[in-house]
Structures are given as C-alpha cells and as structure tokens.
Amino acid sequence: MRKIGVLGGTFDPPHKGHLKVAEIATEILRLDLLLFIPCSKHTLKERLPKVSGFHRSNMLALLCSNIDNFIVENCELERGGVSYTSETLSFLKKKYKD
C-alpha cells in the first residue's frame, strides 16, 4: 500500500516554503506520494484568496513540476465553497485506493 501525504492550504501564493515543508514531510514520513490541495475557501479565514483557485493550482503545478511524487489535486476547487478536511479525505480515499 502506498503512503500518501496531504498538504492543504490556500497557497495564495504558493512559495518555496510550501515546497520545503512538503519535501521534509515526504522524507521524514517516507511518503510515496504527496498531494497539494488548494482550497476554494478556507474554513478559518474570512478573507478570500487574492488569486483564483485554478490560477493558484497552476502556480503550484509549476512549483512542483520537477518532483515526480508531488501532485496538485483540485478536488476542493472543483467542489467549490468552504473546504472541510473530512470531505476531502473521504474523496481521496476513494480516488487513491490501491
């Protein structure tokens, strides 16, 4: 069974700090795959992101483009509205089952 990590956030904008956290987590936890999940609307932040969700997703994809086991997963953007971790994890469990 693959070990999959999940790193969610607004990523507004994504930056090298996000990438470094992902690299450290992947190494320490020995993850096979790490999913970056940009949210549509964060549950704890009143302010909306400055940049559209899919633009943030594209920036994340560029940031991760040279790392094979990093994937940008747009399930929360596609669902829209407020993002809840429990819903996202249920979706990912079905999508990435092996």
| Whole-number pLDDT of residue 5 | 98
| Whole-number pLDDT of residue 83 | 83
Query: pTM to 2 decimals?
Result: 0.91
For the chain, the structural domain boundaries read: 4-95
SS (H, E, C) the chain: CCCEEEEEECCCCCCHHHHHHHHHHHHHHCCCEEEEEECCECCCCCCCCCCCHHHHHHHHHHHHCCCCCEEECCHHHHHCCECCHHHHHHHHHHHCCC
Strand partners of residue 5:
34
| Whole-number pLDDT of residue 41 | 78
pLDDT per residue as tens, the chain (98 positions): 899 999 999 999 999 999 999 999 999 999 999 999 999 877 766 777 788 999 999 999 999 999 999 999 999 999 998 888 999 999 999 999 87
- C-alpha distances (whole Å) from 96 to each of 70, 73, 78, 84 are 14, 11, 17, 18
| Whole-number pLDDT of residue 47 | 72
| Whole-number pLDDT of residue 81 | 87
- Note the CATH architecture for domain 4-95: 3-Layer(aba) Sandwich (3.40)
